[in-house]
Amino acid sequence: MAKFKMGKKLKKRFIRIIVALSLFLVVFILDRIFNLATVIDGKFSWLFPFALYLGIYVLIGYDVIFKAVRNILHGQVFDENFLMCVATLGAFALAIYRGVMGLTIEGFDEACAVLLFYQVGEFFQAYATGKSRKSISSLMDIRPDYANLVAGNEPTIVSPDQVKVGDIILVNPGEKVPLDGVIIKGQSTLDVKALTGESLPKDVFENDQILSGAVNITSQLYIEVTKAFYDSTVSKILDLVENASSQKSRSENFITKFSKIYTPTVCVTALLLAVIPSLITGDWQTWIYRALSFLVVSCPCALVISIPLSFFAGLGASSRYGILVKGSNYLEKFSKANIFYFDKTGTLTKGNFAVSSVYPENKREEILQLASIAENYSNHPIARSIVAEYGKEIEEGFTLTNEAGLGVVATKLDTQILCGNEKLMEKYGIDFTAQNSLGTIVCVAKNGEFVGSLVIVDQVKPEAKEVIGELEGLKAQTFMLTGDNEKIASGVAKELNLTGFKASLLPQKKVDELENALSNKGDGDVLCFVGDGINDAPSLMRADIGIAMGGVGSDAAIEAADVVLMQDNLKGIPLAKKIAKKTMAIVRQNIVFSIAIKIGILILSAFGIANMWLAVFGDVGVAVLAILNAMRVNSKY
């Protein structure tokens, strides 16, 4: 946990509380032993303890009194400072009344203590929120403080926003990369954990793109800046994170509304409690005292503090795992997400092709070798996948002829290699064995003889199956939308155990399909769309929650999506759901717990079972407990 230092103001408050608390204890103990009311005899015996306690009261509470007066002047009637003052000064008044009437002198200590403990509680709240705020924000802190600008011989330290595009900066080991750029000299290992949540360090070399926010680990890097600071990845992410808590959730709004009604209601009840039973029983003292206890619990602070804190902790926890959630409202909604629509290429699959099988398998080497010769100079992803699969030196010197839409013919002396689809084989009159596998089939023939064929498919991401399984385990439905044909789509859907799929969709149709699903879903259902953010921005925006994968460096994705997985890894989805669920569970606990305790105290005070001491302890205690509970969100997942 990050080290948290008390600010100057907080420290001053702390010292004041300690001083007031010790003075109070001294007076309180003396009072109990010697009974301070006996120091002065006669009618004014109450004056001595009153003066002592009032002194401490003013010492600990002058700011509360000051704020109360000021806010009343501003027309803030239900201000908690004011209500605290009414409660405590009322208690003083009751005690004075007893003194004047010649009854046993008591109650001064209580009036003083209530304000004292109120202040202790406020201090704890400030301390705990400050501390948790620090520990959460430090996790999100990827802001670079400076850049080493290389101009002339010596690098100079400047603020990152002073660096222009095209400038050269130096990043030493241990420093954060301040701006996006390209490495022009050096190679090193980068720690990108703060950026993507990926804990494996990344090796980078000359000419590699490098993103701001990464930490340089091993050696010096010279970087040519390609984006100004405001445009760099780190600024974009910080912007997003900082604005996240301004998108408030329904729970937060509920609490704000609740507190608006709560305080006036408690105050009015207190007033009624002071007047009506007193008129009936004639026992003014008892009922005014009970009414004053009401005022002590009238501040809804415990509630109002713990809910945004829980959400903040949830946002912080997810960003630690490279999941950026754009607002508390999305975190809240995501906890209920139960329908997931996935884009296929680039999301469920890697989006790059690979040789999945070779027929016949015993001629694998030969088929790959021949196909590589023919496809060596092509840039088509399928051709590249064949060459990559072969991975050995390729025989040169062939004349390559492209047969449009069919394949390639390679010739060298008396060798002729045919490499292409079934139509190419037919054209050259070659007797071939047809393949019925999913994916793209490439047939290979040599000197008029069929050698074999290759099946090339887009590979499913290794984690996809596990993630889909996990989502189904959470009672979620999973669908796939793709532009690919029915056969390929159903293959992937079967392999991953998806609930359903829609194939042969043109890009525009994907949005229509989503609209359809949105209008057919139930009230409580939350529909998510998961895409890579490159060409599915409309779908990302249209869904209840748009989730973009591999968001690092992609502005479009960051803009259109509500949840951005910085890492191109589907595992972020169930993880985010876990975090969202835990956050919401804790939010609910805090709401129920705080309201229950408050109402409990109110009832107990109304019946005279709880005194003012208990009321103030309950009020302060519940706030601190709620804050501690909220911090549980920020644990390991």
**What DSSP line would sit under 125-187, residue for residue?**
HHHHHHHHHHHHHHHH------EEEE-SSSEEEE-GGGPPTT-EEEE-TTPBP-S-EEEEE--
Q: Is 309 in the site for another protein (CB under 8 A)?
A: yes
Q: Is 308 in the site for another protein (CB under 8 A)?
A: yes
Candidate residues 104, 246, 379, 436; the one interacting with another protein per rule CB under 8 A = 246
User: Pattern 270-299, binding to another protein, x per CB under 8 A?
Assistant: -----------------------------x
Candidate residues 16, 98, 133, 193; the one interacting with another protein per rule CB under 8 A = 133
Candidate residues 50, 294, 312, 398; the one interacting with another protein per rule CB under 8 A = 312
Provide the minimum distance between the beta carbon of 336 and another protein in the complex, in angstroms, as a whole number. 23
The order of strands in the sheet holding 415-420 is: 349-359, 449-460, 440-446, 415-420, 407-412, 399-403
Provide the minimum distance between the beta carbon of 246 and another protein in the complex, in angstroms, as a whole number. 4
Q: Is 247 in the site for another protein (CB under 8 A)?
A: yes
Q: How is residue 212 written in tokens?
A: 């701001």
Q: Looking only at residues 67 through 106 of this chain, which bind another protein when binding is defined by CB under 8 A?
A: 67, 70, 74, 76, 80
Residue 418 amino acid letter: L
Residue 246 amino acid letter: S
Provide the minimum distance between the beta carbon of 305 and another protein in the complex, in angstroms, as a whole number. 4
Q: Of 246 and 362, which has the nearer Cβ to another protein?
A: 246
Candidate residues 187, 226, 259, 378; the one interacting with another protein per rule CB under 8 A = 259
Between CA 156 and CA 150 the distance in angstroms is 6
Between CA 215 and CA 175 the distance in angstroms is 6
Q: Which residues, including other chains, have CB under 8 Å from residue 525's CB and lie 6 or more apart?
A: 338, 339
User: Pattern 9-28, binding to another protein, x per CB under 8 A?
Assistant: x-------------------
Phi-psi region of 102 (alpha: psi -120 to 50; beta: other; left: phi over 0): left
Provide the minimum distance between the beta carbon of 263 and another protein in the complex, in angstroms, as a whole number. 8
Locus of tokens 């359809």: 516
The candidate with the shortest Cα–Cα distance to 606, out of 334, 361, 291, is 291
Residue 446 amino acid letter: K
Q: Is 375 in the site for another protein (CB under 8 A)?
A: no
Q: How is residue 318 written in tokens?
A: 């997810």
Candidate residues 304, 438, 456, 547; the one interacting with another protein per rule CB under 8 A = 304
Q: Of 95 and 301, which has the nearer Cβ to another protein?
A: 301
Q: Is 126 in the site for another protein (CB under 8 A)?
A: yes
Residues β-bridged to residue 155: 150
Region near another protein per CB under 8 A, out of 39-47, 304-312, 385-393, 533-541 = 304-312
Q: CA distances (Å), 122 to each of 112, 301, 306, in order?
A: 16, 9, 14
Provide the minimum distance between the beta carbon of 212 and another protein in the complex, in angstroms, as a whole number. 20
Provide the minimum distance between the beta carbon of 461 and another protein in the complex, in angstroms, as a whole number. 35
The candidate with the shortest Cα–Cα distance to 233, out of 175, 174, 192, is 192
Provide the minimum distance between the beta carbon of 118 and another protein in the complex, in angstroms, as a whole number. 12
# chain residues binding another protein, by CB under 8 A: 28
Asked if 400 contacts 378 with a C-beta cutoff of 8 angstroms, the reply is no
Q: Is 135 in the site for another protein (CB under 8 A)?
A: no
Q: Is 8 in the site for another protein (CB under 8 A)?
A: no
- Long-range contacts of range 2-9, CB-CB < 8 Å, 24 or more positions apart? 2/134, 2/135, 2/138, 4/130, 4/131, 4/134, 4/135, 6/127, 6/130, 7/130
Q: Of 366 and 559, which has the nearer Cβ to another protein?
A: 559
Between CA 202 and CA 380 the distance in angstroms is 28
Q: Is 30 in the site for another protein (CB under 8 A)?
A: no
Provide the minimum distance between the beta carbon of 11 and another protein in the complex, in angstroms, as a whole number. 14
Provide the minimum distance between the beta carbon of 13 and another protein in the complex, in angstroms, as a whole number. 10
Q: Is 137 in the site for another protein (CB under 8 A)?
A: yes
Residue 343 annotated among the catalytic residues of the structure: yes
The β-bridge relationship of strands 526-531 and 545-548 is: parallel
Provide the minimum distance between the beta carbon of 613 and another protein in the complex, in angstroms, as a whole number. 23
Region near another protein per CB under 8 A, out of 309-317, 444-452, 555-563, 593-601 = 309-317
Q: Of 125 and 216, which has the nearer Cβ to another protein?
A: 125
The order of strands in the sheet holding 526-531 is: 323-325, 563-565, 545-548, 526-531, 337-343, 477-481, 500-502
Candidate residues 142, 267, 292, 301; the one interacting with another protein per rule CB under 8 A = 301
Q: Of 145 and 242, which has the nearer Cβ to another protein?
A: 242
Q: Of 13 and 582, which has the nearer Cβ to another protein?
A: 13
Q: Is 300 in the site for another protein (CB under 8 A)?
A: yes
Which DSSP helix (H) or strand (E) runs through 389? helix 381-390
The H helix count followed by the E strand count for the chain is 20, 22
Provide the minimum distance between the beta carbon of 319 and another protein in the complex, in angstroms, as a whole number. 13
CA geometry: angle at 350 spanning 346 and 356, to 5°? 140
Region near another protein per CB under 8 A, out of 300-308, 553-561, 569-577, 579-587 = 300-308
Q: Looking only at residues 223 through 242 of this chain, which bind another protein when binding is defined by CB under 8 A?
A: 242
Q: How is residue 284 written in tokens?
A: 């003014």
The candidate with the shortest Cα–Cα distance to 232, out of 274, 268, 182, 191, is 182
Q: Is 494 in the site for another protein (CB under 8 A)?
A: no
Q: Is 197 in the site for another protein (CB under 8 A)?
A: no
Q: Of 56 and 136, which has the nearer Cβ to another protein?
A: 136
Exactly one of 31, 191, 343, 536 is catalytic; name it: 343
Active site residues: 343
Residues that bind another protein (CB under 8 A): 9, 67, 70, 74, 76, 80, 126, 129, 133, 136-137, 242-243, 245-248, 256, 259, 299-301, 304-305, 308-309, 311-312
